[in-house]
Chain A
Amino acid sequence: MIENNTLLLGSLVTPLIGAIVALIFANSDRLQRSIGVLTGLIAWVFSVSLLVQVHDAGVQTYALGNWIPPYGIVLVADQLGALFAFMVTTIMIGGLLYTFRGHDKCMSYPAFIPLFLLMEVGLVGAMLTGDLFTLFVFMELMVLASVSLTAISDDQFGLEAALKYILISSMGTLFLLLGIASLYASFGTLNMAQIAQILLTGERPILAAASSLMLLCAFLLKSAVFPFHFWQPDFHTTAPTPISAMLSSIVVKVGVYGILRLVTLLFVKDAHIMEPWLSTLGIIGILFGSLGALRTYNAKRMLAYSTFAQIGFILVGIGWGGPLALVGAIVYAFNHAFIKSSLLMLMGVVASYTPTKSANFGDISGIGSRLPSAVGWLVLLGGLSLAGVPPFNGFISKLALIRGGVESGDWQNLIIMVGAGILTLMYMIRAWQRIFQQSPLPTTVQTKDEGDSLFAPLLLIVLCLLLGTIFTEPLIQLVSATVQQIQDPSVYISAVFPEGPGIMTR
């Protein structure tokens, strides 16, 4: 029998219950927003205690309905899943807090908070499930919730971007489903641990090889990597501010998480075929994303392009594949979520002072002198952190990644990567100068007296600073332990099957 740990269910079901309760109070906008923040906090407490327990006592599992694996659905929290779930719930609190004091019209719709919480269910669920089909269901839940939220955005282009994304993403989902069906047809199971176990023995039906490619493409599409990236800047720019902060920071990480699972658990023996591709796609992403961010006309769009580049950095780390490189990639993914969400929320705050709520440079150039002075400082801090200037957490993640590159000895990609890091500094500083250093043009720049609250981005920036200074050591240790664990798939497998492998008869 496997142990059932209720914390797993707690961090998954709390946002679901919150969404339902928020729907009951659809008439009261203020109450709904309070329910949102409260639910986010409870889910955060669950995920923190889960992370602590996973760290102290090893992999935690929950067999839904006490159906033992491989027959039932099992939720598994190993260090990787628990760490990513912790990241998701923490950033989600930031998003929900922004919503609490936001002024966008769409935030007062009765469906806004329930959809937001359903997105959290999808994200946390995708990271904690140990069953491939459930992974598909959770990812689809996340996609549908985020698409609906973008479609109701105040931005007039939101609907168009949402339609564009849902058609592309559905194609990705279909291939994910096809890949899962192929794996099921080959092995007669959907349990990730069992599939990993069979694949470790070296059995390679042709359908399983095909499905590895389909799963990889589906995950690459979800995290907007080079050949599948074209929807991303539109979709992330037009979403309401808290949603675009979530999309650009944690929703793209679902794809990263899936790729990590593919190369460290499911297709360990084929990882050496995938990894050079991941590195190449990552390098292309870094260059295209950084240059796109330099050339664009809108501050939010610049940050969306920058996400495209930052995911490239993470993929290069995964592509190098050594233990240090994986530490670098996971630390990078973790830190990027904090920096990017706070920066996007800050741009949302800046945009909320303009009459049209637009973040076009034409509308916000020189607006800085009319904003609270804290905004300028926070954007500068966030920009320096994104570019990897010490003492922020961006520097820690860049350093960890460079150590991984030195270990792998892939000097060519390492040099391109470090060089492209300077582009990050260029576009962030340039945007900061245009917004906060230029003298305002009274004819073109009009401002409102009141904008969105600064509290949520402030909180996240403070977390960035803490991660870059006080909590660096624990974070690196935690991630190193995570990498040690995921490099040995038998830990995951034996947690799901404590009494030896599950036996399936064909």
Chain B
Amino acid sequence: MIDLMFALAIGMLFGIGVFQLLRRDLIKAAIGFAILFSAINLFFVAVGAFDGDFAPYVSNVEAGLSTSDPLVQALILTAIVVSFGSFSLVLGFVNIISRRFDTVDSNDINKLKH
């Protein structure tokens, strides 16, 4: 049941993220990018290679309990830092572009088209 909920949540987040990323409004596109990254982080946690309900301490492993996967948490911490960096960079670009072009509509930001 929980697995199904996770799958549905990830799928919905992915859909919303892709839809937002394809919007003309650049701010919405940037936020869609953040949503997509959350979807993938959630996917990472949900699919961790080792299933278990106990904290992954050495004592728990030695006691033969099924421990959860500690690596995915370390991985998504890194992925969150990376995504935060790129997200803030995108927002910074959108900020400067909005001042330079007086719009955030990507159809009007077309100086590169000759």
Contact = CB atoms under 8 A, between A and B. Distances in A.
Contact of B33 (A137, A147, A170): A170
A170 B90 contact: yes
Contacts of A161: 112
B49 A506 contact: yes
Nearest to B81: A137
A173 B85 CA distance: 13
B82 A185 contact: no
A344 to B, nearest CB: 19
A178 interface: yes
B109 to A, nearest CB: 6
Interface in A147-182: 147-148, 151, 156-157, 159-164, 166-167, 170-171, 173-174, 177-178, 181-182
B101 to A, nearest CB: 9
A178 B89 contact: no
Contact of A185 (B37, B48, B79): B48
B43 A181 contact: yes
A182 B111 CA distance: 39
B75 interface: yes
A257 interface: no
Q: Is the interface of B mostly helix, strand, loop or mixed?
A: helix
Given A506-B49, A506-B50, A140 B82 contact: yes
Interface string A7-23: 00000000000000000
Question: Which residue, A136, A164, A184, A189, has most C-beta atoms of chain B within 10 A?
Answer: A184
Nearest to A171: B21
B60 interface: no
Question: Which residue, A144, A156, A159, A234, has most C-beta atoms of chain B within 10 A?
Answer: A159
A136 B79 CA distance: 9
Interface in B100-114: 100, 109, 111-112, 114
A135 to B, nearest CB: 12
The contact size tier of chain A is: 35 or more
A170 B86 contact: yes
Nearest to A186: B49
Q: Is the interface of A mostly helix, strand, loop or mixed?
A: helix
A133 interface: yes
A159 B33 contact: no
Contact of A159 (B44, B79, B97): B97
B112 A157 contact: yes
A297 interface: yes
A506 B52 CA distance: 11
Interface residues of B, number: 33
A187 interface: yes
A188 B40 CA distance: 17
A450 to B, nearest CB: 29
A162 B78 contact: no
Given A163-B26, A167-B29, A181 B111 contact: no
Contacts of A238: 112
Given A171-B21, A297-B114, A506-B49, A163 B93 contact: yes
B37 A174 contact: yes
A331 B81 CA distance: 37
B16 interface: no
Contacts of B94: 163
A181 B40 contact: yes
A137 B86 CA distance: 12
A159 B100 contact: yes
Interface in A117-156: 133, 136-137, 140, 143-144, 147-148, 151, 156
Contacts of B111: 156-157, 160
B45 to A, nearest CB: 10
Nearest to A181: B44
Given A137-B82, A171-B21, A177-B79, A188 B49 contact: yes
A210 B38 CA distance: 20
A160 B50 contact: no
Contacts of A190: 71, 75
B47 A137 contact: no
Given A185-B47, A506-B50, A160 B109 contact: yes
A173 to B, nearest CB: 8
Question: Which residue, A133, A178, A181, A297, has most C-beta atoms of chain B within 10 A?
Answer: A181
B37 A144 contact: no
Given A157-B111, A160-B112, A144 B89 contact: yes
B96 interface: yes
A234 B112 contact: yes
B72 interface: yes
26 contacts: A136-B82, A140-B85, A140-B86, A151-B96, A156-B111, A157-B112, A159-B96, A159-B97, A159-B100, A160-B109, A166-B90, A167-B90, A170-B33, A173-B86, A174-B36, A174-B37, A177-B40, A181-B40, A182-B47, A184-B44, A185-B49, A186-B49, A187-B49, A188-B50, A189-B49, A297-B114
Given A161-B112, A171-B36, 6 more contacts: A137-B78, A166-B93, A170-B86, A184-B44, A184-B72, A185-B47
10 nearest CB pairs, A to B: A188-B49, A185-B47, A163-B93, A181-B44, A140-B82, A234-B112, A157-B112, A177-B40, A160-B112, A178-B40
